[in-house]
Amino acid sequence: MSGNTPPRKNFYIFCILLLLLGLGLVGQRMFQGKLSGLMKSPPLCKDCNVILVSLDTLSANHLPCYGYNRNTSPNLCTFAKQNILFSHAYANGTWTLPSHVSIFTGLNPNTHGVNVPYSDSLSTNIPFLPEILQKSGYTTLFVLPKHDISLPIDMVYNRGIDRLFYEGEDAWAQALQYFATNVAKKKKTFLFLHTYTVHMPYLIGNTPKLYTTDTYPAIPLTAEDYNRTSIEFYQKLYEQIQNIITNGESPSIAAGDKEVLSLIVKNNYDPKKLDSIMFNEGKYSDYREGVKDNIKYNMNFDIHNPRDVDYLRALYDQRINQMDQSEITNVLQFLSSNEYIKKSTIVIFTADHGEEFMEHGAIEHETIYDSNLHIPLIFYIPGNQRPKQIATPVQLTDLAPTILDMLGISYTNEFQGSSLVGEIEGKQLPDRLLISDGNWLKTLSIRNKQWKLLINRNIDSTLTPYELYDIQKDPNEKENVLFSHLDIAKDFISRYQNYEHIWREKLPLNYSVNN
């Protein structure tokens, strides 16, 4: 009898281990973000420096390394082909504010709650990537606009940041130099670089047009033309703001808009008086860029005329090319010119969202179709010698846990994103749903590798309430197959509701979830 005991004992131990492994796998599928931070596999680049570059409004669909027919970005795409390119990366939000907060929190916009400018601030209960890095011994450097409702320093970027550089002519150069000095002193450093170069307005300056021979004299190409106002401009501004107030299109500007309307009438649409009030530093300066973009372009082209839209697309593509020759080249040259920095620094290029040109009835970045959500994601990791293209769908909320795992920083907080270290090492992420919130949380997309469900929560809208696309067969989202695959849509909705229920219980803060 006693001779049989050890094998039986070993068998029981083996069964227990299998059970624990099974539970671990289930937990990993449900809460990938947390467990990836507790794994003890060797980090890809322990204690390395990091440069994270946000190329605001850069659509992956307009880059040749993502299949575009124009060679808009030869330098970035050469770099991508030599390193790690995620071919199916998606934004979690449709515009700058919520999408960037998702990058630094690893949470979806509906969870982190920063969606409405002026009113939403990031809860101190939510872990913030720069703060985590700072507590782990990193110096954190950020290049941000000084006064920007989409990247608000006072309401979001006010903790965990050691040094701010305000966007301007020399901000990137100054930040890179500070980074180099810090690294030379063997100080671990994280640098975030942001640029609006390819955001509307598409001002190509006095350079020759690269991608069009058309001419639209009324559409501004230089800063001087863009900044010029007129009585007609203020008449259009009045109409636009009045429509916004009447239709309730944007919750962020209703409070001050009536005051702006009265100012316009009081000053009799006089540009000399209104310019100093509206577009200088002060109470109304936040109107400046968005107002001019909308009016300068909406006044002067027809979005339903394909030739007009092609002209705008050509200007946007030229801005990408100009950014490739300037900011992107500067970062790549900085990396290659210093061997120590090259051997000790991770570099990541991405974007917060893309740009649309009437693929789905919108200009700029409004919808949750992939013309807007598909973004570039490119990694350089020291010591990684093999170029790789990864087709697994990933999202911006994956960046925070990925960066921490690559650096070997342990964390116990949970992310809605998942670490991509396994993917980089050749392992595969479990099947999961990727979430994108759009249009002030009135729209939602849920996707996996094959299917994408779009939900319109705005009952007053003329949009279809539900759309389902087989994105493997129909990547441009042209054929809504909802009624032939209702079971897929129901399963997605059920899984999403369960997912949001779990997160309601999980986070120690107040936030609303719209099911």
251 pLDDT above the threshold of 50: yes
Q: Match 């179709």 to its residue by tokens.
A: 369
| pTM of the predicted model as reported, rounded to 2 decimal places | 0.88
More confident residue, 398 or 34: 398
28 pLDDT above the threshold of 90: no
Instruction: Give just the sign of the alpha carbon dihedral 251, 252, 257, 259.
Output: positive
- Which pLDDT score, from 0 to 100, does residue 38 have? 43
More confident residue, 297 or 460: 297
Q: Measured between alpha carbons, how far is 66 from 70 in angstroms, rounded to an integer?
A: 11
Alpha helices for 425-515 (secondary structure H):
486-506
- Which pLDDT score, from 0 to 100, does residue 248 have? 62
347 and 190 Cβ atoms separated by less than 8 Å: no
More confident residue, 27 or 142: 142
With a CB cutoff of 8 Å and minimum separation 6, the contacts of 486 are: none
- Which pLDDT score, from 0 to 100, does residue 101 have? 98
Q: Measured between alpha carbons, how far is 223 from 204 in angstroms, rounded to an integer?
A: 9
With a CB cutoff of 8 Å and minimum separation 6, the contacts of 82 are: 387
- Which pLDDT score, from 0 to 100, does residue 458 have? 72
Helices (H) and strands (E) in the chain, counts: 19, 17
Q: What is the mean pLDDT of residues 204-217?
A: 96
**Banded model confidence at residue 16, pLDDT cuts 50, 70, 90:** very low
- Which pLDDT score, from 0 to 100, does residue 284 have? 67
Percentage with pLDDT > 90 across the chain:
65
Q: What is the mean pLDDT of residues 40-66?
A: 94
- Which pLDDT score, from 0 to 100, does residue 447 have? 97
11 pLDDT above the threshold of 90: no
- In DSSP notation, 41-109 reads SPPSSTT-EEEEEEETT--GGGSGGGT-SS---HHHHHHHHHSEEESSEE-SBSSHHHHHHHHHHS--H
- Which pLDDT score, from 0 to 100, does residue 131 have? 96
What is the overall mean pLDDT for the chain?
A: 86
- Which pLDDT score, from 0 to 100, does residue 287 have? 61
Q: What is the mean pLDDT of residues 378-403?
A: 95
How far does Cα 23 stand from its chain's mean position? Answer: 33
More confident residue, 150 or 40: 150
Weakest mean pLDDT among 162-166, 248-252, 301-305: 248-252
Phi, psi of 5 (to 5 degrees): -65, -50
Q: Measured between alpha carbons, how far is 87 from 82 in angstroms, rounded to an integer?
A: 14
504 pLDDT above the threshold of 80: no
354 pLDDT above the threshold of 50: yes
More confident residue, 16 or 41: 41
13 pLDDT above the threshold of 50: no
The 10s digit of each residue's pLDDT in 418-430 is 999 999 999 988 8
Q: What is the mean pLDDT of residues 265-272?
A: 91
Q: What is the mean pLDDT of residues 480-502?
A: 93
With a CB cutoff of 8 Å and minimum separation 6, the contacts of 298 are: 236, 240
Q: Measured between alpha carbons, how far is 415 from 399 in angstroms, rounded to an integer?
A: 10
Q: Which two tokens stand for residue 273?
A: 């008086």
Q: What is the mean pLDDT of residues 42-48?
A: 94
The CATH classification of domain 49-201+306-427, taken from the options 3.50.50.60, 3.30.310.50, 3.40.720.10, 3.90.1300.10:
3.40.720.10
Q: What is the mean pLDDT of residues 348-366?
A: 94
The 10s digit of each residue's pLDDT in 55-85 is 999 999 999 999 999 999 999 999 999 999 9
Q: Measured between alpha carbons, how far is 66 from 87 in angstroms, rounded to an integer?
A: 7
- Which pLDDT score, from 0 to 100, does residue 276 have? 80
**Among the ranges 37-46, 289-298, 476-485, which has the highest mean pLDDT value?**
476-485
Extents of the domains making up the chain: 49-201+306-427, 223-298
DSSP code for 338 = -
64-89 CB burial, b ≥16 within 10 A, e <16: bbbebebebbebbbebbeebbbbbbb
**Banded model confidence at residue 218, pLDDT cuts 50, 70, 90:** confident
Q: Measured between alpha carbons, how far is 216 from 413 in angstroms, rounded to an integer?
A: 52
